Homo-oligomer: A and B are copies of this chain.
Amino acid sequence: MCALKDKKQLIISAAIKCFAQKGFHATSIQEIVDTAGIAKGSVYSYFKSKEDLLFVAIKHEYDRMMSGVLSVANDINLTPRERLAAQFQHMLQVTLEYSDFIATLKNETDLMVNDQMKAFLNDMHKADFQWYCQSILAIYGDDAKPYVFDAAIIIQAVVKHFTYMDRVQLESTELTRFFMDRLDDLVDGMIRKQQKPILNKEQSENNANPCSPDTSFSYEDSLKAVQSIRVYIKQSKLETKIKTASLSYLTVLDHEITKDQIDPIITTAMISHLKSLGLAEILINLNNLEHYALNQ
């Protein structure tokens, strides 16, 4: 009964371990199945392809790790400061358990095998960043408001750096205290100095964005992008009504792009509608289209 789940998890664990050691592209399916101790063909009972295995594995490990982290981080009996500290502490504690997953994540470019992965990694970074922003605002109040992004990006960088430092065994309680102290130092300093912040909202959203719009996006690329989105939507399981509407928006988009003069209002509106579908798989293409359309 549980055999299926177990085997899938077995493959995921083996894959994550291999990806951590050699990266996605340098890892062969053979190495994964050898690690898992199963036959080559079995992988394809559970995953459509090597790419799919990567995506499912990353997503699954992320969810597994986050479920623990968030349960602690969202404890409503804690003050915001205690909550952030709790989150730090928990994350540091599970670092070892998820060391392979974390090591796998270090190879951004290598993991971006398709738009789905790009969108997922992007979402991960953004969610991470936003949580820091919220925490900082809650802890330090309105005085810190202008510096939320500046502080968040620093703390994100530091935490990432420490979790990526493999094999170093640091005591998590002390390290948590250290992070909180440094955050205090930073925010206090920022508020005291009252200088212009480095990052505004928009810039911060590009933070560590592994799929920020491709500036070399061409006319042909945009046509392909529309096409690709159309295909995705058509085969999606959206309500018929929404699907039809979305396809209409796409047609409009197509017309706009083909025109000599792109109307930014219409284009933005259409893209906005499509973004609101919440389909991570097409997000990157929408971003690219948006960037292309607004810079013609």
Say which one of A56-64, A178-186, A272-280 lies at the interface with B: A178-186
Complex Cα spacing A223 to B236, Å: 13
Q: Which residues of B contact A168 (CB under 8 A)?
A: 203, 206-207
Instruction: Pick from B174, B193, B230: contact of A227, CB below 8 A.
Output: B230
Residues of B within 8 A of A212 (CB): 166-167
A23 touches B (CB below 8 Å): yes
With A161-B153, A181-B193, A185-B185 as known contacts, state yes or no: A209 contacts B25, CB within 8 Å.
no
Q: Are B154 and A158 in contact (CB under 8 A)?
A: yes
CA distance in complex: A21, B34 (Å): 30
Q: Which residues of B contact A231 (CB under 8 A)?
A: 227
Quick check: is A134 within 8 A (CB to CB) of the other chain? no
Which chain B residues border A154 with CB–CB below 8 Å?
154, 158, 161, 182
Q: Which residue of B lies closest to A20 (CB)?
A: B109
Main secondary structure on chain A at its contact with chain B?
Answer: helix
Known contacts A168-B207, A189-B182, A208-B165; A174/B196 CB under 8 A: yes
The residues of B that contact A170 with a CB separation of less than 8 Å are 198-199, 203
Chain A count of residues within 8 A CB distance of the other chain: 65
Of B175, B178, B203, B251, which is within 8 A of A251 by CB?
B251
Partner of A186, one of B104, B186, B224, B244: B186
A40 contacts chain B at the CB level, 8 A cutoff: no
Within 8 A of B (CB), among A192-218: 193, 195-196, 198-199, 203, 206-209, 212, 215
Question: Which A148-169 residues sit within 8 Å CB-CB of chain B?
Answer: 150, 153-154, 156-158, 160-162, 164-168
A49 CB–B CB distance under 8 Å = no
For A206, give the chain B residue with the smallest CB separation.
Answer: B168
Q: Does A74 reach chain B (CB closer than 8 Å)?
A: no
- Please name 30 pairs of A and B residues whose Cβ atoms are closer than 8 Å in the assembled complex, sorted by A: A20-B109, A21-B109, A23-B25, A23-B109, A26-B113, A106-B108, A106-B109, A107-B107, A107-B109, A109-B110, A110-B110, A153-B162, A154-B158, A154-B161, A157-B157, A157-B161, A164-B208, A165-B209, A166-B212, A168-B203, A170-B199, A174-B196, A175-B198, A182-B186, A184-B189, A185-B188, A188-B189, A227-B231, A227-B234, A244-B258
Q: Which 3 A-B pairs have the closest CB atoms?
A: A185-B189, A157-B161, A25-B25
